[in-house]
Amino acid sequence: MTETTQNNPRQVLALKYRPRRFEDLVGQDTISTTLSLALDTNRLSHAYLFSGLRGSGKTSTARIMAKALVCEQAPTSKPCEVCDGCKSANSYRHLDIIEMDAASNRGIDDIKELIEHTKYKPTSAKYKVFIIDEVHMLTTQAFNALLKTLEEPPSFVKFILATTDPLKLPATILSRTQHFRFKRISDKDIVHHLSHILNVENIEFETAALEMLTRSGQGSLRDTLTLLDQAIIYSKSIVTTSTVTDMLGMIDPAFMENIFDTILAKNDIRDIIESLESYEVGQVIDEFSIFLKQKMLKNDPKYHLHIYDRFFRIFADAKQLLSLNSDSGFVLILMLSKMVEAVNLKTIEEVIEQVINIPLDEPKGSTVDVLEKPSIEQPQVKQEVLKSSVQTQVQTQSQTQTANIEQPMVTQKMVSQPTVEVQTVSDDIVKFKKVIENIYNKSYELGNCFENSFEFESYANNILHINSTASGECKQMLYKNFKYLRDFIDEVFGDNTDIEFNKIVKEPKKELARTIQPTITYEQSAALKEQQQDGNSVGSMIEDIEMGDMTQSSSCVGSLCDSSNPSLAQVELDINDVLNSKMTNTAIELFQPRNPPRIKNKI
């Protein structure tokens, strides 16, 4: 190594300090130990697979391994470094070490040529070593061609495959190799290695600067060494934090502290936005994340757990926006503003405590209070995080209180009375909406007809009053499915709910608009049906429901009369007048029991 250093002083650090021995490998102790043992005990596999991040030492390890196999003392974990084999291996000229880059030689012909090579004995060494880098790039045919040789190569042949993406390899290849996974080299190991190199090179440095370089290298020793090369040139012999921040376009650590202090203090962020405009926003987000991660690891008391959580979510959102090619300046402003807002937010526990502390025994006479009551639960969910709105809530309540106190007692009573009714009515409306929803769930069309034709009027004494504007096809559909509609209503309102329809006619010009008979119950229509069977020519709705046959002339339950056929409807209305009593109904039932199922579903 020293020899090379002197001969080739301008060589880049990554090459100059490429490990030559197993013990030189950085951060891959387990792998180097295992391979050393295998070499020393001569328990060698015929094929190895090295996988891991780029710059984690795969190719270096493969070359050390190859050297260990071509040294005169092979196999040995400590190549002598003096024999011809070692020397030519170190200068990458050994004839028995064949390196192939599968990224550029990925076809079947390349592999066939390589297989041809395996047939000849090594020229000088004991073994012939084939190193295939980026092996995942090979074509499927090339992999297939390689399989046989890989499984049973001649005894003197060793394969070392290296890849950054082992998942792309066919299972057949994986099963024929000993797999070594190279882990990401820890930042600590890299910093240590860099400081070692700088000491050897006699270059001064600040450790913080090396840490920044290491972070930028993201676990790749080769990338980090390339950056270090750059930093040495840029900083003119002393590698300092400021030169590295300038060089990498990173945010100065002091400025970073300042940014977060400003955000935590909820101060004006306009200056920060201006200063950060010259940086790439994606990088700013990355650096913010790294900064916070360090704070988290150091347990900085300035930051609470929920702050980290919120900030990291904001960063994720910002990154997503950037990925959509959003305007980066806008993303930056939005991100910083959200961060300030996130500091304002209270934890759920804090808000719950605040809500609990709101006095509940205030007089609540005003209509506003009561009307708002059902919705109060909802906003509070949002308030859990919004301190300001909680305060507003408290204020509103106290204002209401003051207003009430000023008012005379009589007014309060008067106002508070109808609220009970409002409450019940709204409950029933909710139930009615539930019915609509259930019908929608069964059939969209039916739900749509129901919603558009029927309007909730009132519900009292087990009778549901519905205003109906049904007409045309909608009406027919409602007729046909009346049985189901009943079930849906019973389900929500209770089993014995009567339904009364009040017809609301859309076109007042027609005769029928003055509907004389406003309501008719289901039983009454059943009675009507019986009556009709007695010779009346008017069709019955119930009949139609049962038969599943609907005609224009047939008519209605109460107000569901067809407005296009006024004369028939008119007749029916008259009948309804006559039949509009439960007693008649019962009488008809008793005397004409031949169609009992028609009303059984009601009772």
Question: Tokens for 183?
Answer: 């882990």
Q: Which is nearer to Zn ion, 79 or 558 (CB)?
A: 79
Closest CA to 246 of 230, 262, 266, 260: 230
Q: Which is nearer to Zn ion, 23 or 473 (CB)?
A: 23
Instruction: Give the up-direction half-sphere exposure of residue 380: CA atoms within 13 A in the CB hemisphere.
Output: 16
Backbone phi and psi for residue 455, each to the nearest 5 degrees, phi listed first: -125, 140
- Whether residue 310 contacts residue 342, with contact meaning beta carbons closer than 8 Å, is answered with yes
**Distance (Å, whole) CA 184 – CA 180:** 13
Q: Which is nearer to Zn ion, 21 or 602 (CB)?
A: 21
CB atoms within 10 A of CB 352: 13
CB of 43 to Zn ion, least distance (A): 21
Q: Which is nearer to Zn ion, 71 or 477 (CB)?
A: 71
**Distance (Å, whole) CA 191 – CA 205:** 11
Backbone phi and psi for residue 187, each to the nearest 5 degrees, phi listed first: -55, -40
Question: Tokens for 423?
Answer: 């409450």
CB of 30 to Zn ion, least distance (A): 25
Question: Tokens for 24?
Answer: 């030189």
Sign of the torsion formed by the C-alpha atoms of 559, 562, 566 and 568: negative
CB atoms within 10 A of CB 389: 15
Q: Which is nearer to Zn ion, 71 or 248 (CB)?
A: 71
Q: Which is nearer to Zn ion, 83 or 321 (CB)?
A: 83
Q: Which is nearer to Zn ion, 20 or 480 (CB)?
A: 20
CB of 90 to Zn ion, least distance (A): 9
Q: Which is nearer to Zn ion, 71 or 210 (CB)?
A: 71
Q: Which is nearer to Zn ion, 81 or 490 (CB)?
A: 81
CB atoms within 10 A of CB 509: 6
Which stretches of the chain bind Zn ion, using CB under 5 A?
A: 71, 79-80, 83, 86
CB of 86 to Zn ion, least distance (A): 3
CB of 1 to Zn ion, least distance (A): 15
**Distance (Å, whole) CA 277 – CA 328:** 9
Quote the Cα angle for 531-535-536, to 5°.
65
Q: Which is nearer to Zn ion, 83 or 474 (CB)?
A: 83
Is the preceding peptide bond at 75 cis, omega within 30 degrees of 0?
yes
CB of 83 to Zn ion, least distance (A): 3
CB of 65 to Zn ion, least distance (A): 14
In DSSP notation, 87-150 reads HHHHTT--TTEEEEETTT--SHHHHHHHHHHHTSPPSSSS-EEEEEETGGGS-HHHHHHHHHHH
If you compute the radius of gyration of the chain from its CA atoms, what whole number of angstroms results?
Answer: 43
CB of 5 to Zn ion, least distance (A): 20
Closest CA to 296 of 312, 280, 283, 273: 312
**Distance (Å, whole) CA 159 – CA 62:** 10
- Residue whose structure tokens are 């064949």: 98
CB of 185 to Zn ion, least distance (A): 28
- Whether residue 501 contacts residue 558, with contact meaning beta carbons closer than 8 Å, is answered with yes
- Whether residue 53 contacts residue 164, with contact meaning beta carbons closer than 8 Å, is answered with yes
**Distance (Å, whole) CA 584 – CA 234:** 106
In single-letter form, the type of residue at position 169 comes to L
CB of 84 to Zn ion, least distance (A): 8
CB of 41 to Zn ion, least distance (A): 19
Q: Which is nearer to Zn ion, 44 or 342 (CB)?
A: 44
In single-letter form, the type of residue at position 565 comes to N
Q: Which is nearer to Zn ion, 95 or 587 (CB)?
A: 95
CB of 79 to Zn ion, least distance (A): 5
